[in-house]
């Protein structure tokens, strides 16, 4: 596997030590984190199986070298930019495991447009932070989606069905925040921009109300 934006290379080290993988690349674009990864891999005696490489996105991967890519701890837009720019490196890749800090919707849309089927989603809370994880494999990109594509793309087709505790917590807080911004914009002088922003917020607030109340009923 290749872990892109690996920082300390904690994930490849964990996977290797627990026997989940045979070989990993820990890719980093920044010198400091790259050096931390090198140090960590070496002190754990994993240098023979984990290659730490300095480079931008998927540039650190040679063709056909890995069948799984993980990218965690960045925004959804940056993650999709990395995948889009490195498309030719994805030929041998069977699985993507992505953990966007924000904007998971951008990744779900990218999957739809690029023939990746979202096969699983997780949402977990740890130390007061909520993490969303998306797993995709090659397949039918439309399969996970139901009637309400807009809601499924925003909230996640699997997560919206099962609504774990962290899901309810995240979207209840987001809805509250959208409402707060909406009310602030109501006070501001009206421009084309504020009208558009209010409409966008209102759509999201209504979608959140719909899916969260679905679960309550």
Which residues in this chain contact ligand SAM in the complex, by CB under 6 A?
4-7, 27-30, 33, 56-57, 72-74, 82
Nearer to ligand SAM, 73 or 164 (CB): 73
Nearer to ligand SAM, 1 or 82 (CB): 82
Q: Give residue 116's Cα distance to chain centre.
A: 14
Tokens of 95: 């699985």
Which residues have a Cβ under 8 Å from the Cβ of 97 and sit 6 or more positions away? Answer: 68, 69, 70, 71, 72, 133, 134, 135
Least gap, CB of 60 to ligand SAM (angstroms): 8
Least gap, CB of 95 to ligand SAM (angstroms): 17
Nearer to ligand SAM, 7 or 38 (CB): 7
Least gap, CB of 126 to ligand SAM (angstroms): 12
Least gap, CB of 26 to ligand SAM (angstroms): 9
DSSP summary character for residue 65:
S
Nearer to ligand SAM, 102 or 173 (CB): 102
Angle of the 31-43 helix axis to the 10-17 helix axis, nearest 10 = 20
Assess contact for 85 and 98: CB atoms under 8 A: no
């Amino acid at each position: 596997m290749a872990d892109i934006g690996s920082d300390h290379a904690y994930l490849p080290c964990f996977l290797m030590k627990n026997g989940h993988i045979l070989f990993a690349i820990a890719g980093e674009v920044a010198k400091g984190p790259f050096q931390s990864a090198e140090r960590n891999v070496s002190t754990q005696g994993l240098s023979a199986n984990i290659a730490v490489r300095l480079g931008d996105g998927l540039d650190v991967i040679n063709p056909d070298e890995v069948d799984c890519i993980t990218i965690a701890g960045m925004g959804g837009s940056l993650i999709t930019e990395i995948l889009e720019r490195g498309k030719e490196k994805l030929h041998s890749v069977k699985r993507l495991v992505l953990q966007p800090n924000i904007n998971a919707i951008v990744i779900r849309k990218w999957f739809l447009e690029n023939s990746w089927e979202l096969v699983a989603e997780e949402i977990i809370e740890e130390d007061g932070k909520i993490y969303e994880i998306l797993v995709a494999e090659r397949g039918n990109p439309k399969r996970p989606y139901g009637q309400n594509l807009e809601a499924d793309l925003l909230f996640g087709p699997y997560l919206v069905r099962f609504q774990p505790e962290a899901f309810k917590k995240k979207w209840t807080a987001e809805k509250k925040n959208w409402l707060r911004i909406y009310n602030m914009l109501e006070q501001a002088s009206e421009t084309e921009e504020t009208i558009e922003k209010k409409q966008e917020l209102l759509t999201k607030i209504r979608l959140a109300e719909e899916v969260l109340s679905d679960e309550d009923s």
